[in-house]
């Protein structure tokens, strides 16, 4: 099951890469033909995304490797590299769009609305298909890439509406205005994603886990007197890890400890924690604060 899931992640990003590459080439040709700043800007934007998608595809394949002597937790976190590079490329591309589009607002150039309309229809269909394909993914890498395609769908809808307006009215300034709006929308969403990625890298507590609730749930288990040195973090935004010291209320036999450990792991899985390292202690056992106990 796990192997099929990871294979699906790689396949989804691979599909997105080739779709993006094909459509970027179409955009470049169409942008020059229609003299549309919005389309040429998006073409440049997508050209950079081809690089980041290729890296995302590569890093996602690496992320599926199991632990070895170099990385004891495996290579899951490598998928974050693709997400970071993707976000950087989106940021640089958006800034370039702004520098090119803003002057055109004050000095608009004539475009071909009919050609823009045709390309916008294709843009909505291609990017919409890629978005729904990646939306089913569970990794942060897939979510960042799917966000890009959602942004493109919305952007192409805006371009489609703009093309209709420009076809019936002499309003060439709409084309660069759309470019500026799309750029700011992309920058806003990139900010949210890079903040989430940095939170994972800095080993912050996953947003969907309440550490106080986890502690309270463990305290309620039979055989536990107290817990401390409780830490929770995520490897890749999807696979969560916990370490904890458990103080037993009495001395237990090996088989009783094994049963308690199983109960603890079952309880943690209900809270979305897939991997747990548990250290058992007796009530009178010394736990050195300097080694991380509190």
Per-residue model confidence as pLDDT tens for the chain (294 residues):
444 444 455 666 677 778 778 888 888 888 888 888 778 777 776 776 777 677 766 766 776 677 778 888 777 777 787 778 778 888 888 888 888 888 888 888 788 888 889 888 988 888 888 777 766 655 555 666 677 677 778 778 888 888 899 888 888 888 888 888 878 877 887 888 888 889 999 989 998 899 999 999 898 888 888 898 899 999 888 889 999 999 988 877 888 888 889 999 999 998 889 999 999 988 777 776 545 555
From-to residues of CATH 3.30.70.1350 in the chain: 211-291
Structure confidence at residue 236 (pLDDT): 81
Cβ atoms of 133 and 15 within 8 Å: the answer is: yes
Tell me if the domain spanning 211-291 has CATH number 3.30.70.1350. Answer: yes
User: What's the CATH code, domain 2-201?
Assistant: 1.20.1510.10
Neighbours of 14 (CB within 10 A): 16
Enter the pTM of the model. Answer: 0.70
Give 169's DSSP letter: S
Residue 25, CA distances (Å) to 5, 18, 28, 111 in order: 31, 11, 5, 19
Question: Helices marked H in 209-275 — which ranges?
Answer: 211-219, 254-270
3-state SS assignment for residue 134 = helix
Q: For residues 17 and 20, give the distance between their C-alpha atoms in angstroms, rounded to a whole number.
A: 5
Q: For residues 142 and 44, give the distance between their C-alpha atoms in angstroms, rounded to a whole number.
A: 21
Q: For residues 113 and 178, give the distance between their C-alpha atoms in angstroms, rounded to a whole number.
A: 14
From-to residues of CATH 1.20.1510.10 in the chain: 2-201
Paired tokens of 197: 């990625």
Phi, psi dihedrals of residue 214, rounded to the nearest 5°: -60, -45
Backbone dihedral region for residue 203 (phi beyond 0: left; psi -120 to 50: alpha; all else: beta): left
Give 233's DSSP letter: E
Residue 43, CA distances (Å) to 23, 38, 40, 46, 85 in order: 8, 9, 5, 5, 18
Give 29's DSSP letter: H
């Amino acid at each position: 099951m796990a192997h099929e899931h990871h294979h699906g992640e790689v396949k989804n990003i691979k599909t997105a890469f080739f779709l993006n590459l094909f459509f970027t080439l179409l955009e470049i040709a169409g942008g020059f033909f229609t003299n549309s700043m919005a389309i040429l800007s998006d073409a440049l934007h997508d050209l950079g995304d081809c690089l980041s998608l290729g890296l995302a595809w590569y890093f996602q394949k690496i992320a599926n490797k199991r632990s070895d002597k170099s990385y004891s937790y495996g290579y899951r976190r490598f998928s974050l590299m693709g997400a970071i590079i993707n976000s950087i490329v989106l940021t640089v591309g958006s800034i370039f769009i702004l520098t090119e589009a803003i002057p055109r607002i004050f000095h608009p150039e004539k475009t071909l609305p009919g050609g823009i309309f045709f390309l916008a229809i294709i843009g909505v269909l291609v990017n919409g298909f890629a978005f729904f394909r990646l939306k089913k993914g569970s990794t942060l890498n897939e979510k960042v890439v799917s966000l890009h395609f959602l942004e493109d769908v919305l952007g192409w809808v805006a371009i489609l509406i703009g093309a209709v307006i420009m076809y019936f009215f002499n309003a060439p300034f709409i084309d660069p205005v759309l470019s500026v709006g799309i750029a700011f929308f992309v920058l806003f969403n990139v900010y949210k994603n890079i903040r989430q990625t940095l939170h994972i890298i800095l080993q912050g507590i996953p947003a969907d886990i309440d550490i106080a609730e986890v502690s309270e749930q463990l305290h309620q288990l039979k055989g536990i007197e107290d817990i401390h040195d409780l830490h929770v973090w995520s490897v890749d935004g999807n696979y969560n890890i916990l370490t904890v010291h458990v103080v037993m209320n009495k001395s237990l036999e090996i088989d009783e400890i094994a049963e308690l450990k199983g109960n603890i792991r079952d309880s943690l899985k209900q809270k979305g924690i897939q991997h747990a390292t548990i250290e058992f202690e007796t009530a009178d056992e010394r736990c050195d604060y300097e080694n991380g106990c509190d």
